[in-house]
């Protein structure tokens, strides 16, 4: 299916002469997205929010056939252990390939698996399985085995110093800073196109996770420092799947809290959560410790409406609001650096400020400005919202409540952008798996480049349809979240007026239009350096 458009949108496109690029979203899809957005804006302004939103969820343990299987799987330690060992083995092979394999990124397992498959596919996986990746994360597995010296049973408490994380670090600020740093390394320093640098980064993360586990109590790295884990945590608030009590009443009457303290065999919750009080997925790493330690076997995967958690339950702190906004700004910035015009912009900026070499100063300045603009815009519009509320609630409360609406915007753009990489650049992965070190391989030849360029794994129009659908879904979720969350800062029982939601709605529209514009642009291919 394709849409043709009578209108000419070419004036919005940046030139890409002489560059190998993926085509951007055609005008027909863009118009469809714009029309749907218009309808949703009208709905948001004129239709009042209904009180008493239904809260539907279903524990998989209650389902007829798969229920007993789910219960069984959740208390079996060996299944997760096998998965952890397999993933850790692949991770170590990736490091080996990065250090000792070919420097050609498109032929080396380290770069192909890490950036094209894992990093691109991870965001999509969150939607379907929540924070399940954290359960098999090799950084966590390797550090746990090294420090606790146990494969799966509870390790000795004295293997770690067990210090409390300093108060100043007990937030997601460290994870946000790490995420900004990683993005700088990825996009500014070019880690994604260097197998060697990718391997070094992987080793660094294992060292950081190990040091953190050896020094601090429980899994401080997962809770406070890991940029990937926190990204997964926030995105998984939107996921329709989460680990939750099967019967909340059982948890309510529990006084022993094995999920929090652990048992003789099972670790306590690594991120300090009590299953009976868990309201949001942000810090759950799906490690299954709670399901194995619960004497009532009262923990299982639960299905719920997409975005239900974020609309109803999530409480956002100031630092968490900043993380969400950082995520939003970073994902859009990611897209911007892959525009064909990006290098020209960098060159002009470098010429203006006298930057030389890898133009890291030019990149750093552009990155800082790109991150500051959406955050400053949001801060301003949150201030405007605060001024429109008669009771003048605390600014940080308004800021934190409204920031949640940015989460689906970041998620869907992240997903749409990564989809392009995944279905176009993962071609040839079979050869890389057969020859992970890329021994005696040559760079991509003309036919291979052409195949990556012209023959994605799914049809071109299906990619555009998915991207358009995702963008609309994110917009719709953001508007819904805004309409519900704004009532939390209004006096009890008061419904938000169209005028009160207008500033934050303007932000949502502006970011979606910007992301739509990014998706319209041709995108440069990542691991393809051969001059066309």
Partner 1 sequence: MNTVSFFRILVSLACMLPALPAHAHHILGKPAYNSGGENSGTPPSMQVETQIGDYLVNMMVFPAFPKPGVQGRLHLYAARLDNGQSYQGKVTFKVRDDAWFASEAEVLGTHEIDDKVYRQGFVFSKAGNYIATAEFQAEGQPYIVDLPLQVGEPTSLMPIGVAVGAIIFVLVGVRVAQRRRRTHPKGKRQHEAARGEA
Interaction site with partner 1 (CB under 8 A): 95, 99-100, 103-104, 146-147, 154, 156-162, 189-190, 193, 196, 199-200, 203-204, 206-207, 210-211, 214-215, 261, 264, 318, 347, 350-351, 353-359, 361, 365, 368-369, 372, 376, 379, 383, 386, 395-396, 443-446, 529-532
Map tokens 């919750």 to a residue: 269
Closest CB 395 distance from partner 1, rounded Å: 5
Q: Which is nearer to partner 1, 25 or 346 (CB)?
A: 346
Q: What are phi and psi of 216, to 5 degrees?
A: -100, 165
70, with CB counted inside 10 A (0-12, 13-18, 19+), is: middle
Q: Which is nearer to partner 1, 178 or 187 (CB)?
A: 187
Closest CB 366 distance from partner 1, rounded Å: 10
Sequence-distant (6+) residues with CB within 8 A of 64 are none
Q: Which is nearer to partner 1, 59 or 337 (CB)?
A: 337
Q: Which is nearer to partner 1, 119 or 318 (CB)?
A: 318
230 neighbors 326 (Cβ within 8 angstroms): no
| Measured distance CA(85)–CA(402) in Å, rounded | 41
331 neighbors 374 (Cβ within 8 angstroms): no
Bridge partners of 241?
A: 303
Residue 288 DSSP class: S
Map tokens 């060992």 to a residue: 85
Closest CB 114 distance from partner 1, rounded Å: 15
Q: Which is nearer to partner 1, 44 or 178 (CB)?
A: 178
Q: Which is nearer to partner 1, 263 or 312 (CB)?
A: 263
Bridge partners of 58?
A: 303
Closest CB 446 distance from partner 1, rounded Å: 4
| Measured distance CA(525)–CA(343) in Å, rounded | 13
Closest CB 65 distance from partner 1, rounded Å: 39
Sequence-distant (6+) residues with CB within 8 A of 405 are 478, 479, 481, 482, 485, 504, 507, 508
State both tokens at 316: 């956002």
Q: How many Cβ atoms are within 10 Å of 29's Cβ, its own excluded?
A: 24
Q: Which is nearer to partner 1, 146 or 274 (CB)?
A: 146
Q: Which is nearer to partner 1, 64 or 446 (CB)?
A: 446
Closest CB 453 distance from partner 1, rounded Å: 14
Q: Which is nearer to partner 1, 235 or 378 (CB)?
A: 378
Closest CB 217 distance from partner 1, rounded Å: 10
Closest CB 393 distance from partner 1, rounded Å: 12
Q: How far is CA 313 from the centre of its chain?
A: 20
Q: Which is nearer to partner 1, 97 or 226 (CB)?
A: 97
Closest CB 337 distance from partner 1, rounded Å: 14
Q: How long is the chain?
A: 532
Closest CB 221 distance from partner 1, rounded Å: 13
Q: How many Cβ atoms are within 10 Å of 194's Cβ, its own excluded?
A: 18
| Measured distance CA(213)–CA(217) in Å, rounded | 7
Closest CB 147 distance from partner 1, rounded Å: 7
| Ramachandran category for residue 429: left, alpha or beta (phi over 0 → left; psi -120 to 50 → alpha) | alpha
Q: Which is nearer to partner 1, 128 or 351 (CB)?
A: 351
DSSP string, 44-96: HHHSPPPSS----EEEGGGSTTHHHHHHHHHH-HHHHHHHHHHHHHHHHHHHH
Q: Which is nearer to partner 1, 494 or 530 (CB)?
A: 530
Closest CB 8 distance from partner 1, rounded Å: 33
Buried/exposed 310-349: b ≥16 CB within 10 Å, e otherwise: bbbebebeeebbbbbbbbbbbbbbbbbbbbbbbeeebeeb
Q: Which residue pairs from 486-489 have beta carbons closer than 8 angstroms and sit at least 24 positions apart in sequence? A: 486/385, 486/401, 486/402, 487/49, 488/397, 488/401, 489/389, 489/393, 489/397, 489/398, 489/401
């Amino acid at each position: 299916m394709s849409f043709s458009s009578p209108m000419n949108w070419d004036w919005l496109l940046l030139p890409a002469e002489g560059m190998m690029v993926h085509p951007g979203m055609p005008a027909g899809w863009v118009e469809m997205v714009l029309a749907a957005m218009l309808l949703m804006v009208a709905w948001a302004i004129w239709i009042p929010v209904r009180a008493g939103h239904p809260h539907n969820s279903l524990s998989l343990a209650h389902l007829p056939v798969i229920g007993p299987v789910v219960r069984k799987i959740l208390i079996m330690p060996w299944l997760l252990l096998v998965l952890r060992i397999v993933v850790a083995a692949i991770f170590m092979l990736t490091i080996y390939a990065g250090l000792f394999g070919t420097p050609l990124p498109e032929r080396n397992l380290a770069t192909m698996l890490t950036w094209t498959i894992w990093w691109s596919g991870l965001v999509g996986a969150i939607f379907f399985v929540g924070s399940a990746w954290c359960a098999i994360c090799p950084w966590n597995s390797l550090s746990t085995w090294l420090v606790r010296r146990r494969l799966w049973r509870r390790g000795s408490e004295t293997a770690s110093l067990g210090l409390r994380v300093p108060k100043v670090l007990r937030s997601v600020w460290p994870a946000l800073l790490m995420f900004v740093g990683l993005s700088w390394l990825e996009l500014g320093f070019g880690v994604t196109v260097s197998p060697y640098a990718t391997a070094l980064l992987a080793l660094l993360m294992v060292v950081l996770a190990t040091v953190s586990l050896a020094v601090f109590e429980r899994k401080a790295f997962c809770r406070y420092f890991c940029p990937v884990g926190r990204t997964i945590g926030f995105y998984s608030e939107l996921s329709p799947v989460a680990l939750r009590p099967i019967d909340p009443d059982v948890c309510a009457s529990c006084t022993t809290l094995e999920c929090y303290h652990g048992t003789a065999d099972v670790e306590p919750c690594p991120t300090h959560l009590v299953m009976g009080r868990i309201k949001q997925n942000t810090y759950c790493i799906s490690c299954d410790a709670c399901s194995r330690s619960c004497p009532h076997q009262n923990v299982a995967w639960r299905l719920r409406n997409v975005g239900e958690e974020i609309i109803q339950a999530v409480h956002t702190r100031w630092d968490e609001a900043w993380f969400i906004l950082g995520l939003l700004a970073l994902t859009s910035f990611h897209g911007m650096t892959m525009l064909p015009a990006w290098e020209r912009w960098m060159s002009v900026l470098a010429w203006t400020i006298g930057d030389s070499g890898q133009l890291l100063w030019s990149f750093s300045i552009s990155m800082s400005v790109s991150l500051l603009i959406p955050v400053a815009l949001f801060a301003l519009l949150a201030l405007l919202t605060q001024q429109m509320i008669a009771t003048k609630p605390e600014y940080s409360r308004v800021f934190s409540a409204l920031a949640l609406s940015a989460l689906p915007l970041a998620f869907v753009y992240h997903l749409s952008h990564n989809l392009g990489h995944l279905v176009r650049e993962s071609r040839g992965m079979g050869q890389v798996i057969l020859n992970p070190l890329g021994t005696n391989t040559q760079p991509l030849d003309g036919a291979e480049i052409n195949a990556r360029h012209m023959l994605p794994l799914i049809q071109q129009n299906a990619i555009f349809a998915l991207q358009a659908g995702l963008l609309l879904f994110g917009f719709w979720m953001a508007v819904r979240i805004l309409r519900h969350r704004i009532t939390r800062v209004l006096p009890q029982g008061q419904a938000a007026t169209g005028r009160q939601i207008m500033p934050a709605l303007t932000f949502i529209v502006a970011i979606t239009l910007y992301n739509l514009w990014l998706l319209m642009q041709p995108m440069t291919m990542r691991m393809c350096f051969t001059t066309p």
